Amino acid sequence: MNPNDLQGSSAQSQHAAPGTTAAAAPPAPPPLDEDQASIVREEEELLARVREHLASLPPVKPPPKSDYDEQLLSLRDQIASARLEDVPALVQQMERVTGIAAQRNAHVVEPVDPKSPYFGHLRLREKGKPDRDVLIGKTTHVDAKAGVRIVDWRHAPVSQIYYRYEEGTDYEETFGEREVEGTILARRTVTIDDSELLRISAPQATLVRGVSGAWRSLDVRAASLAGGQGVAIRPEDMREMAGRSGALGTGAAFHAREDRHLPEIAALLDPRQFELISKPDTGIVVIQGGAGSGKTTIGVHRMAFLAYNGGRRFTADKMLVIVGSPALRAYISEVLPALNLPGIGVETYAEWARSTRIKTFPWLEAPVEENTPSVVTRYKTHPAMLRLFERRAREVLEEGSLRRDARGVLYFWADVLSDRDRVLEAFAEINDPEFGIDQVKRAWRWCADRCPAVLDLDPGDRVERKAAAADEPEVSEEEQKRQQGVDGRDGSDRDDRATLDPEDDSLLLRAYQLLRGDLKKGKQPLLYEHLFVDEAQDLAPVDLSVLMHVVNQPRSITLAGDTAQRLFMDSGFRDWRQTLDELGLSRVDVEPLRIAYRSTREVMEFARAVLGPLADPTPPVAPRSGAPVEHHHFPSQGAAAAFLADAIRPLLQREPRATLAVLARHPEQADVYYDALRMAEIPHLRRIRSYEFAFRPGVEVTEIRQVKGLEYDYVVLVDVNAATYPSDDESRHLLHIGATRAAHQLWVVSSGAPSTLLPSWLD
């Protein structure tokens, strides 16, 4: 294949790089046909009527605010700590305040913004009634006499019709106690900016208004996302979109590139996404969705939805986002302020757990082991260990045999991990064929060797124990064993075995919760009102258990993940159903997302093929078709890098806003390609070593593990060799993750014997 074939559509090749000769101007677009012109006239007349009506309204004075939300939260806290005889009166008062607050909220609406009053238009016909136009916007204003009906997409019942039905279909919905039936005569998405109609999306055509004021119809290719440059969404795109609509976008927003008039993003939610976003504010929503299906979009949309409808319960400081990587943390952090959600904490789980553990055990100055054996990781994250911690905590609390301060929690942690008989019994109950008794014993020896050394890191407690022993020489055998450490040593020597494994952060926090209750933030409980966990498939059941218990009752949680994108094979997460069972959530449904918005059909077929037996039996639906996936084989890395340089240089000249990722499995491989491309003087070239992504046009060379959750216009997977990607589950997941970062085009490059995971049809 010619290297010049790494390119976007012909429309994109019209962009000339600085210093080059610009391409000839494209021919003038054909005039609108009669049906298209009629649509434009209808929408312009409707907007004119709405503008005229809004201009005639008197200024709206905001009603005085009351602190009902604060009263409800205060009453809830009082009920939690009140005497039993005081609870009924407090509950009655809480019900009364709730009723008053609900009545207040039902009558308070924001005024309509005349510069962008609505983004959706429905024309409905119901039996026995005249046809009516309903406009979907960000607030509600209904004046039937003036023929203006604008409803809020976030809570107006009629907005469900907009998201669930297509033009020309019959609908049947229940609004309160009223059954509504009818036909959708028209369903259109419009872009209105500074009171001007700029874009109309209808089943018949996508119509845009040019700089001269003339309207034109986008051709089918432009409207169906066929370009390369700018196909992938970046934070600045999301901020601009969110700033206009108060919500994040999905893959359906890509077609805005062609005309530069960004539509309201809330208009682009598909029915399934809207259903999940608007679920009740209490409960647990679990989303299984493939790459590019909108999991992150749903999570942040749902927070915006709750913040709007939930009053002061869901303020930014009372919500937490846990993500899978620093790259996704940076990505979401740049977007949230545009959703009117500044101040929400966005952290990776490892960061959050480490900082919380240090605050909970400030005196435990233990270094963290950097080379924990895989068998120990599996041991500590295994569901059997979570069960054992919970069982032993119940026994200890019933017996009253262990001090319940933070130091007692540390002894509990050490005792559970190194109690050989109980450990073997717990793992035998589960009988995991992938983690046998021999492996359990190896991991137990690691813990039995190191846990006593960690206990000895507390010199103050050692002095306290020695003083107590001097005053009371007669102590029980059990107490002597506790004082001497789990393995019988006297604990007077501090050695290099006194380290914690990364997985111990979760185990210590869960032990604290089991024995002492809520984690603390200063003197107050560390509790959130809503938790959104993205990439949940990379967390262990014990990690999720810790997070579940930092959310206030009644719990409001969104969990999103994709079992096909697991990065950590030792995390203890096998599938959603098993994990939910381990967490005591057997009745929680898993909500599937089937539409893959990011990648083309060709890319998704390749990604599914490399998963092989790990693929979901139901394939995703990819609406877009694009360039075929290409496999290029070379005898060496040098030849492959030279070929890529020859392909990338003209690509960036034609498409200066394109993003391209060169993805390797190992850092050493990424270094080779980066050095070669740098010598070839590829512009805007960046070597990403530790998640320092720029989120701007250019070429980024990095490892697949670092790009989880991100997307690029073009992706090149390098050194897809048999030695680098053997036929194992981890290799399948990595290739799937790397491939699905591509929004437009994917190349696969091998510099040795190709991996046997590559589908045969690729050659």
Token readout for 193 is 């900016």
Q: What is the pLDDT of residues 237-265, one digit of tens each?
A: 555 555 444 333 333 333 334 344 545 55
Q: What is the pLDDT of residue 480?
A: 46
Q: What is the pLDDT of residues 402-444, one digit of tens each?
A: 787 889 999 999 999 999 999 999 999 988 888 999 999 999 9
Cα dihedral sign, 752-756-761-762: negative
Question: Is residue 291 annotated as involved in ligand binding?
Answer: yes
**pTM recorded for the entire structure:** 0.69
More confident residue, 691 or 567: 691
More confident residue, 100 or 248: 100
Look at the domain 601-751 and name its fold.
Rossmann fold (3.40.50)
Over range 177-184, report the average pLDDT: 88
Q: What is the pLDDT of residue 664?
A: 98
Q: Which of 166, 140, 160 is nearest to 151 (CA)?
A: 140
CA distance 348 to 345: 10
More confident residue, 504 or 293: 504
Q: 677: Cβ–Cβ under 8 A, 6 or more apart, which residues?
A: 641, 644, 645, 648, 662, 685, 699, 701
444 and 420 Cβ atoms separated by less than 8 Å: yes
For tokens 């669930």, name the residue. 164
Lowest mean pLDDT among 233-242, 452-461, 645-654, 658-667: 233-242
620 and 604 Cβ atoms separated by less than 8 Å: yes
Please name the residue ranges forming H helices in 205-256. Answer: 220-223, 235-245
Q: What is the pLDDT of residue 264?
A: 57
Residue 223: pLDDT band (50, 70, 90) is very low
Q: What is the pLDDT of residue 165?
A: 87
Q: What is the pLDDT of residue 227?
A: 43
Question: Is residue 292 annotated as involved in ligand binding?
Answer: yes
> Exposed/middle/buried for 337, CB within 10 Å: 0-12, 13-18, 19+?
middle
Average pLDDT, the chain: 82
Q: What is the pLDDT of residue 229?
A: 66
Q: What is the pLDDT of residues 567-621, one digit of tens each?
A: 665 666 778 888 888 888 888 888 888 888 889 999 999 999 999 999 988 888 8
Q: What is the pLDDT of residue 68?
A: 59
- Provide the residue ranges of all domains of the chain, joining segments of one domain with +: 67-103, 110-219, 601-751
Distances (CA, A) of 630 to 182, 376, 747, 759, 763: 49, 40, 5, 11, 8
Residue 491: pLDDT band (50, 70, 90) is very low
DSSP state of 27: P
Token readout for 324 is 């899978």
Q: What is the pLDDT of residue 17?
A: 35
Question: Is residue 293 annotated as involved in ligand binding?
Answer: yes
Q: What is the pLDDT of residue 29?
A: 64
Please name the residue ranges forming H helices in 589-728. Answer: 601-611, 637-654, 667-679
Q: What is the pLDDT of residues 103-131, one digit of tens each?
A: 555 444 578 989 989 988 999 999 888 99
Q: What is the pLDDT of residues 613-649, one digit of tens each?
A: 999 888 888 888 888 999 988 888 888 888 898 889 8
Q: What is the pLDDT of residue 213?
A: 86
Residue 273: pLDDT band (50, 70, 90) is confident
Residue 197 CB neighbours (<10 A): 19
Q: DSSP 3-state assignment of 48?
A: helix
Over range 378-406, report the average pLDDT: 91
Residue 340: pLDDT band (50, 70, 90) is confident
Q: What is the pLDDT of residue 562?
A: 86
CA distance 123 to 105: 28
Question: Is residue 289 annotated as involved in ligand binding?
Answer: yes
Q: Which of 378, 291, 234 is nearest to 735 (CA)?
A: 291
Q: What is the pLDDT of residues 736-746, one digit of tens each?
A: 999 999 999 99
Over range 651-675, report the average pLDDT: 94
